[in-house]
Chains A and B, each alone.
Chain A
Amino acid sequence: MTIMRSFLGAAAALALTAGAALAEPAIIFDLGGKFDKSFNESAFTGAKRWADKTGGSFKEIEMQSEAQREQALRRLAESGSNPIVMTGFAFGNVLNEVAPDYPDTSFAIIDMVVDQPNVRSVVFSEHEGSYLVGMLAGETSKSGTVGFIGGMDIPLIRKFACGYAQGVLAVNPDAKIISNMTGTTPAAWNDPVKGSELAKAQISQGADVIYAAAGGTGVGVLQTAADEGILSIGVDSNQNHLHPGKVLTSMVKRVDNAVEKAFDDGPGFETGIVVMGVSNEGVGFAMDENNSPIVDMNAKEAADMAAEKIASGELVVHDYMADNTCPALEF
């Protein structure tokens, strides 16, 4: 203990002389796994980009169960990691309690607002990005029926669905939108088998474009869509490459940028709420060599136009979480 303490003391002294740069940043991935090809993986990409760029290293923990969150967070804070970034709304309650105990540590949380002086809350305007991919889906669909498969049934995911539905209806007012959620617990983020079943059910109802906003579950949706010969839309990370020519586009949510920025800013970064939307390239739809052959250029132009309008404030997409209602979709 005493050796440990003097070691920590020495480390602290070093950190003081060399500036705060010595403190190692850390990232916690919520349930679903680091390599979910989606939300968590996007965060990991950002952290890794920071490490490659600066040559630094970072600590990481993957959550295995709901009850571990507090221990993981405290352990990292206790060990002097700074800043600490965590992905997922579920950390909200825990962070709200832990943050005041470590006033000198900077925390960042993605997808949730935590009102503490040392916390940066990064939230995304998912409804805006979903609106844009909804427009593409509506233009591309031949059957006039499109699907949405969400992960856990929470307001955040309904926000995706609602933005998507508005986008579809904007280009095709007669379109039919089928919406399903995978489950009501965090297990719904990592259930590709169920995602696949839901996709099959939606295909049998006539859907020919399916948007999956379900973390690791979406992998199953995309796979089934590709197998059954219909199009899918990925989420969070750019998932176009998973099935080239079969994934229409991806609603990219730049969690990677948010994580990289937090690591770049380092300890003592500016706190408060950061909203990342279409206007500051926090969300958008992905275009690359994998999907450019299948995206109709007119549809893309229309979506680009809409993006500009959203950025300028001319077009307002209804946010489900603002009033827990959706004008375009029934849940």
Chain B
Amino acid sequence: MDVMPKWADVLLVPVISLILAMVISALVILGIGEDPWAALKLMVQGSFGSTYGWGYTLFYATNFIFTGLAFAVASHAAMFNIGAEGQATLGGLGVALVCLALPWPHWTLALPAAMAGGALFGAAWAFLPAWLAAKRGSHIVITTIMFNFIGAAVLNYMLVNAMRPEGSMDPASAKFPDGTNLPTLHEMLAVVGIPFAKSAPANVALLIALLACFLVWLLLWRTRFGFELRAYGKSESGAIYAGISPTKIIIVAMLISGGLSGLMAVNNVMGEAERLVLNSVEGAGFIGIAVALMGRNHPLGILISAILFGFLYQGGAELALWTTIPRELIVVIQGLVILFTGALDNMVRMPIERLFLWRRRSRQTAGE
């Protein structure tokens, strides 16, 4: 049934898309009179050339793994969850409330509680759109994107009116107590004697993200519920005929999706900023969509493309700092990658499929 071998599907198509995006980016950079080769070198050097760069690349990748997985779980149930941004925002609120609620003695105690807080708030934010979709047929894209705006407004209200410490002008929560500070890669790797940049923000949440990849894979491909979820995503009528409840699938899939988005806050709010600030998600919710599309909604693919987008983010920051390439252009480059790997996927896929078909046919003819 598959016209292409597996390796071509998961590797060849994304790589070709990526190369196309890079070629066009290079032309754009040439167009503004900069050297694309030097820019690429700077991006690679800045994101993989030092442990400091790695620290930031992996930090961003951790965010994207969570939101990418969140999108993928919903996507397998044919739900286009565009609300990871809002769910992660609310997750941040949950994490912050947990961290500030108690004088936590040690991070090992604070972490599970904060994870529960983040996941709970994120899932709660996905619940209403899910319920509306399941019971009222509201389109999930519309409701989740509107919930992003409501989420931003809720955070705004909480930071300005409720969580801003006395005497502070900045709309940000108080700093979390020391007992909630997660160990960074610097501290974790120092135990085994590997030196790692001290100021890089990658932290223990990376391991949680990797674990989440595995658990999502387990859920989707090794459990009964995962089978039902995928069956529903492939064909709603078929699933109903097989006795699968659409309401249950939609709501549970969206709750898991929202929970995964909310878990992202463990990385950026608890692990890096150690306080809740406005706009802490920084678009990771939307990047997650691209990450999941590029990773073909598979945890392993998501892991790889999350690292790629981490590289684009960190490399982009370096470009903005060390060259006169304006920041907006870096967004253009990121946009091109998203465009080619996500939206224009078929543009690359169809010719390659045709190529494989042609090869198979000519082999068959040769065999006859």
Contacts and interface: CB of A to CB of B under 8 A. Distances in A.
A30 to B, nearest CB: 10
Given A4-B50, A184-B156, A61 B279 contact: no
Contact of B277 (A67, A75, A89, A184): A67
Interface of A is mostly: helix
B327 A64 contact: yes
Nearest to B269: A67
A156 B199 CA distance: 31
Nearest to A77: B199
Contact of A59 (B50, B170, B275, B321): B321
Interface centre among A1, A61, A75, A79 (most CB of B within 10 A): A75
A66 B279 contact: yes
Interface of B is mostly: loop
Contact of A65 (B170, B282, B321): B282
Contacts of A79: 321
Nearest to B275: A93
A4 B49 contact: yes
Interface centre among A65, A67, A89 (most CB of B within 10 A): A67
B169 interface: yes
Contacts of B172: 66, 93
A1 B171 contact: no
Given A62-B327, A71-B317, A89 B279 contact: no
Interface centre among B156, B160, B169, B277 (most CB of A within 10 A): B169
A90 interface: yes
A186 B305 CA distance: 32
A101 interface: yes
Contacts of B56: 71
Interface string B67-82: 0000000000000000
B321 A67 contact: no
Contacts of A59: 321
A74 B199 contact: yes
Interface residues of B, number: 29
B52 A78 contact: yes
Contacts of B50: 1, 4
A67 B170 CA distance: 12
A154 B279 contact: no
B278 interface: yes
Interface centre among B170, B273, B278 (most CB of A within 10 A): B170
Given A61-B320, A61-B321, A155-B169, A185 B52 contact: no
Contacts of B268: 67
A280 interface: no
Contact of B169 (A68, A75, A101, A154): A154
Nearest to B326: A62
Contacts of A301: none
A90 B280 CA distance: 14
A92 interface: yes
Contact of A101 (B199, B280, B281): B199
Nearest to B45: A4
Interface string A73-106: 0111011000000000110110000000100000
A186 B278 contact: yes
B175 interface: yes
A70 interface: yes
Interface string B167-183: 01111100100000000
A66 B170 CA distance: 10
A67 B168 CA distance: 17
Contacts of A78: 52, 199
Given A4-B49, A67-B277, A68-B282, A90 B170 contact: yes
Interface string B279-316: 11110000000000000000000000000000000000
A29 to B, nearest CB: 12
A90 B278 CA distance: 11
B317 A75 contact: yes
B116 to A, nearest CB: 23
Contacts of A65: 279, 282
Q: What are the nearest 4 A-B pairs in CB distance?
A: A154-B169, A184-B160, A66-B277, A66-B279
14 contacts: A59-B321, A65-B279, A66-B277, A66-B279, A67-B268, A67-B280, A67-B281, A75-B321, A76-B321, A89-B170, A93-B275, A184-B160, A185-B156, A185-B171
Given A66-B280, A67-B279, 17 more contacts: A4-B49, A4-B50, A61-B321, A62-B327, A65-B282, A66-B279, A67-B273, A67-B280, A71-B201, A72-B321, A75-B321, A93-B168, A93-B172, A93-B275, A101-B198, A154-B169, A185-B278
Interface of A: 1, 4, 59, 61-62, 64-68, 70-72, 74-76, 78-79, 89-90, 92-93, 101, 154-156, 184-186
